[in-house]
A and B are shown apart, each in its own frame.
Chain A
């Protein structure tokens, strides 16, 4: 597999004074499910449109499979796109939609027929050939869009928030299906989404974007476990931030003063320098333990439950302690209203679960 299948080299795209994409460089591997994740306006869609050829970069180069595609129009690129609103042609039926992109490939009628049939089977739309877009559900339209793009056998499939318009249950199903499909056909997927759960559950690698720049690019697990900065940590799931500054290093560990809690020796995964105040600590809600009694964990704080919200598989607690104004924690253990007398509780934290990261 080619590790630099797609090469994005110092790409910038400005719209007037707005730097939608700001000097971004990275590579996407062949056959990879790659996600661009970020809030709206972070530049992820612009980057995808640059790859598709709907926009041309202000500066920088794009290489696909070793070929410079920077200046190629969309119809000359070996990429195909699944649009956010699916963009199914309303005046022709499903079969003609899927055939649309085959006209210029120089295939015989039998080949066209076979390709269309195969791809419709692949996306489970057999029997829908004669339907028009207006006669399809959101999920079916999405499959047509997918079939229409895949039938051209592109080198890269670009997906622009394709699941955004579907309801939650269907979205979860489609996530699994897309992932399976991608493994099956082995085409490189570049997937744009603002939904961190979606990106994490489907991707081989995720690039988190903000303000036109890549904040962090890594595997979903790495992203969750070792976020580089506040933005990533906050965007990927919920977390508690605590003010901190570093002291001296000790091998893989570093001494940290957490403003609210005192001085601790914790793991230094990001290899942060000594005596820095440009850092913060993050503790994920699910790593903490909430209980009615004290524990022997590294840190145990007595607190008062301010609010709870029951989420079904778990309960979320908003806790105030003497040291910290607001801690968010979750527990899958069932507590009812009576469990905590006077809302009194104990929050336990292990030092292993405190991660140190950059503010910016």
Chain B
């Protein structure tokens, strides 16, 4: 039995190697005591990380990315929550079309989205900066948030909401006391993933930032000078670890409480 699966195992290993080996070079070279990315390694150092922390522009870029990421993830998750609820709960005319419309930014090439926003934004007489970037990220993150939340809300027992109405709660009370706690793992997963997508996003930021660089923009700018490469590697390594952690957390949360035996899970927000 085991023997039969060998070709598949080889394929799987090759696939993962292809995916992750290039990514692993970043952390390896970030600890290498040299300015160039080449073998053999010349020695272990943490000085690139120290250098990274000393960059003021990096701090500004990090702060800009966090601001954009938090606003974009909160707004897109909120929009997606209402939309996902409507799609999962009701059947209505134009359902497929509106679903498609929300999912569209998923499929439109990002550069086209970026250019469109740029043209409209400038023709309205506004200045470039973090605001149009945030707007672009909201558009871009909403489909991801939708996918996560629809998966969570589909199969939700809507008689729970009816029971709440029956027991004297109005629509808002029902949302707050019943729906929200039960959707919460999905909502948090959606917030985390949207944040990461916004945090990593480059094309929209490139077209729309103006002078306030986000983190990817900062990295891109640094890459042009060879002597600045090492601390960008260090930064890249940190981002990889952080992103992996967030994504794993998001997937863990998304699946939480989905299984039947785990239905007692939920976060009681009244405690």
**Is B163 a contact of A83 with CB atoms below 8 Å?**
yes
A354: shortest Cβ distance to chain B, in Å?
Answer: 46
Give the complex CA separation of A87 and B160 in angstroms.
5
Q: Contact string, A119-144, partner B, CB cutoff 8 A, digits 1/0?
A: 00000000000001111000000000
**Is A85 a contact of B167 with CB atoms below 8 Å?**
no
B154 CB within 8 Å of chain A: no
A90 CB within 8 Å of chain B: yes
The residues of B that contact A148 with a CB separation of less than 8 Å are: 163, 167
**Is A133 a contact of B264 with CB atoms below 8 Å?**
yes
The residues of B that contact A79 with a CB separation of less than 8 Å are: 166
The residues of A that contact B266 with a CB separation of less than 8 Å are: 90-92
| Closest B residue, CB atoms, query A105 | B168
A53, A90, A135: the one contacting B182 at CB < 8 Å is A90
Give the complex CA separation of A53 and B162 in angstroms.
10
Q: Which of A31-81 contact B (CB under 8 A)?
A: 52-54, 73-75, 79-81
**Is B162 a contact of A74 with CB atoms below 8 Å?**
yes
A152 CB within 8 Å of chain B: yes
The residues of A that contact B167 with a CB separation of less than 8 Å are: 75, 80, 100-101, 148-149, 152
A242: shortest Cβ distance to chain B, in Å?
Answer: 45
A111: shortest Cβ distance to chain B, in Å?
Answer: 15
Give the complex CA separation of A210 and B266 in angstroms.
41
**Is B163 a contact of A91 with CB atoms below 8 Å?**
no
The residues of B that contact A81 with a CB separation of less than 8 Å are: 162-163, 166
Given A75-B168, A103-B168, A152-B168, A89-B163 contact (CB < 8 Å): yes
Give the complex CA separation of A196 and B13 in angstroms.
62
Q: Contact string, B13-53, partner A, CB cutoff 8 A, digits 1/0?
A: 00000000000000000000000000000000000000000
Given A133-B263, A133-B264, A104-B166 contact (CB < 8 Å): no
B157 CB within 8 Å of chain A: yes
The residues of A that contact B164 with a CB separation of less than 8 Å are: 89, 100
Q: Contact string, B252-271, partner A, CB cutoff 8 A, digits 1/0?
A: 00000000111111111000
Given A74-B162, A101-B167, A132-B178 contact (CB < 8 Å): no
**Is B157 a contact of A85 with CB atoms below 8 Å?**
yes
Give the complex CA separation of A100 and B267 in angstroms.
16
Give the complex CA separation of A95 and B166 in angstroms.
18
B169 CB within 8 Å of chain A: yes
B161: shortest Cβ distance to chain A, in Å?
Answer: 9
The residues of A that contact B236 with a CB separation of less than 8 Å are: none
**Is B159 a contact of A83 with CB atoms below 8 Å?**
yes
**Is A91 a contact of B165 with CB atoms below 8 Å?**
no
**Is B159 a contact of A91 with CB atoms below 8 Å?**
no
**Is A91 a contact of B181 with CB atoms below 8 Å?**
yes
Q: Interface residues of B: mostly helix, strand, loop or mixed?
A: helix
Give the complex CA separation of A73 and B161 in angstroms.
13
A130: shortest Cβ distance to chain B, in Å?
Answer: 11
Give the complex CA separation of A265 and B234 in angstroms.
104
**Is A104 a contact of B163 with CB atoms below 8 Å?**
no
| Closest A residue, CB atoms, query B264 | A132
**Is A135 a contact of B264 with CB atoms below 8 Å?**
yes
The residues of B that contact A74 with a CB separation of less than 8 Å are: 162, 165-166
A73, A80, A92, A101: the one contacting B170 at CB < 8 Å is A73
B185: shortest Cβ distance to chain A, in Å?
Answer: 11
B228 CB within 8 Å of chain A: no
The residues of B that contact A54 with a CB separation of less than 8 Å are: 162, 165-166
The residues of B that contact A83 with a CB separation of less than 8 Å are: 159, 162-163
Give the complex CA separation of A73 and B181 in angstroms.
23
**Is B261 a contact of A134 with CB atoms below 8 Å?**
yes
B59 CB within 8 Å of chain A: no
The residues of A that contact B181 with a CB separation of less than 8 Å are: 91
B177 CB within 8 Å of chain A: yes
Give the complex CA separation of A103 and B163 in angstroms.
14
Q: Contact string, B153-197, partner A, CB cutoff 8 A, digits 1/0?
A: 000010110111111111000000110011000000000000000
B157, B168, B169, B170: the one contacting A87 at CB < 8 Å is B157
A75, A84, A133: the one contacting B166 at CB < 8 Å is A75
The residues of B that contact A92 with a CB separation of less than 8 Å are: 266, 268
Give the complex CA separation of A3 and B178 in angstroms.
38
| Closest A residue, CB atoms, query B184 | A91
A-side interface residues toward B, CB under 8 Å?
Answer: 52-54, 73-75, 79-81, 83-85, 87, 89-92, 96, 100-101, 103-105, 132-135, 148-149, 152
3 tightest Cβ-Cβ pairs between the two chains A and B: A91-B266, A101-B167, A132-B264
Q: Please, could you name 24 A-B residue pairs with CB atoms under 8 Å apart, sorted by A?
A: A52-B162, A74-B162, A75-B167, A75-B168, A80-B166, A83-B162, A84-B159, A87-B162, A89-B164, A90-B263, A90-B264, A91-B264, A91-B266, A92-B266, A92-B268, A96-B268, A101-B167, A101-B168, A103-B169, A133-B264, A134-B262, A134-B263, A149-B166, A149-B167
* A-B contact sample (9 more), CB < 8 A, given A52-B166, A75-B168, A134-B262: A79-B166, A80-B166, A83-B163, A87-B160, A90-B160, A90-B182, A90-B264, A100-B164, A100-B169
